[in-house]
Structure 1
């Protein structure tokens, strides 16, 4: 298991976890969330192949439409 901090809360995930898998486990739609991994924005096209590592810090920002 690896420890990942998501929006200042610690979570445990399997070692082979990608950003896409993490979002699914957290019940989030990858189309309405921007992922910041260790202070870098991750392109949503890379969610499926970006592996998480023990100690990573993630900020999730929900996209909200308005007008």
Structure 2
């Protein structure tokens, strides 16, 4: 499956849904926001959001600090 993640084409990820993608990338789902094909996906919907060839994903990491 070919996905575009943060503007970079990735063909090496065989994942079925957003929750699996976030886990495969080693990210903490509580600390990221995900956009799937130009729509923000609520964290509660990651497991229900299926991925297809050609999908565009943008992932933003939350970083704490002061």
Bucket of the pairwise TM-score, normalised by the shorter protein: 0.7 to 0.9
**TM-score for the superposition, normalised by structure 1:** 0.86
Q: Tell me the residue number matched to 1:4.
A: 3
Alignment of 1:23-62 (within 5 A): 23-62=22-61
Shift in Å at residue 8 of structure 1?
1.0
Shift in Å at residue 59 of structure 1?
0.5
Ranges in structure 1 where 5+ consecutive residues have no aligned partner: none
Q: How many residues align?
A: 65
Stretches of 4+ aligned residues off by more than 6 angstroms: none
CA separation in 1, counterparts of 2:6 and 2:30?
18
**TM-score for the superposition, normalised by structure 2:** 0.87
Ranges in structure 2 where 5+ consecutive residues have no aligned partner: none
Higher strand proportion, which one? 1
